[in-house]
Structure 1
């Protein structure tokens, strides 16, 4: 269970708004926000420096971003495992897959429930052919990391809810692998081809 007193990981699409809310909730105690689009090693060093400033009362450090680089997460591992006295960490991102397993193992994790509304994608996975596959990949191959993850999430939602497909093991594993490859900075064009290749044959229809 996530509580502000103990901190942890909060998965929320509204991390910027939530950061402001947390600052207000913990007042009059101090809370410092480190919110950006892409949390990098430089940001991690700034957080660590702030964490080691002596505090007489609890200070909450809020780290929020669409993506956290692997070097930044590795730099935070030790201080998250053994935080300085009176320091509480709250890490926020839109997707659980943003964080390395080593980070998730050190902090409690809470996913905020939200009914997302996705714009309809201009692709039919049920009738996908090679020409349609490569046309769609070409139209979506220049995305930033967080945009690439979001498109994979939308594609999964489109397959299951918009087209009513029952995904087989290969298709499910393709989506899961895509998140890992994007985090490792793999070329998104190749990642998207990998996911879509699993749909060239019609998936079983939902009941």
Structure 2
């Protein structure tokens, strides 16, 4: 079932599970020549380059409403600071729609000035967004920060999701790592803190190669 069932006509922040899916649900409500989609084609992070593109696009005059979609799993602080003025006082007919996976990545100065819709569902996707084969400390930190209040139920789903990704990417786990997966589920049943268990598990996978 679609999370988006109508056109969004005002500048808004959307916190979503899947940015691409949300875009696919939104775009049919708009005329193609009235939209601009700005995202980082190389990384999932919205950086200063994308911010500069957005500012430039915003100041191109338009007689019709122009919808600028700013898309990023996370948004770099410097990029947001450079966008602050144009988001607070957008040019005539310009409407910004921010699509992101993480509420915590949006600066309070922006979050407090733009309305938002929290569309993330509590049920996790079958496949975790992390690339296990290229997992580094920055990825782990960002993921854990976003999920620091994760429930026991969702933590179990994450562990299952990680295993699915490991199998899909044909990653070979050693006995110690396999044992850790088994222990993680048992520790959750014993009411250990889910975030601590996920931290240990992800750190153990950070040096795993395909």
Question: Which residue does 2:141 correspond to in 1?
Answer: 148
Seen in structure 2, the aligned counterparts of structure 1 residues 166 and 45 have a Cα distance that, compared at 3 Å, is same
For 2:150, which of 147, 157, 179 is the aligned residue? 157
Question: Which residue does 1:32 correspond to in 2?
Answer: 36
Question: Which residue does 2:51 correspond to in 1?
Answer: 44
Question: Which residue does 2:24 correspond to in 1?
Answer: 20
- 5+ long unaligned stretches in structure 1: 121-139, 176-191, 194-207
Structure 1 stretches of 4+ moved >6 Å: none
Q: 1:116 aligned to 2:124?
A: yes
Question: Which residue does 2:93 correspond to in 1?
Answer: 86
Deviation, 1:29, is 5.8
Contact kept, 8 Å, 2:19 with 2:99, in 1: the verdict is yes
Indicate the RMSD between aligned Cα atoms, in angstroms.
3.4
Q: TM-score of the superposition, structure 1-length normalised?
A: 0.61
Deviation, 1:151, is 3.9
Q: TM-score of the superposition, structure 2-length normalised?
A: 0.61
Aligned pair count reads: 153
Superposed, 1:1-207 pairs within 5 Å as: 4-27=8-31, 30-36=34-40, 37-114=44-121, 115-117=123-125, 142-145=136-139, 147-153=140-146, 156-157=149-150, 159=152, 162=156, 163=188
Contact kept, 8 Å, 1:38 with 1:68, in 2: the verdict is yes
Deviation, 1:88, is 0.3
Q: Aligned equivalents of 2:21 and 2:53: distance in 1?
A: 21
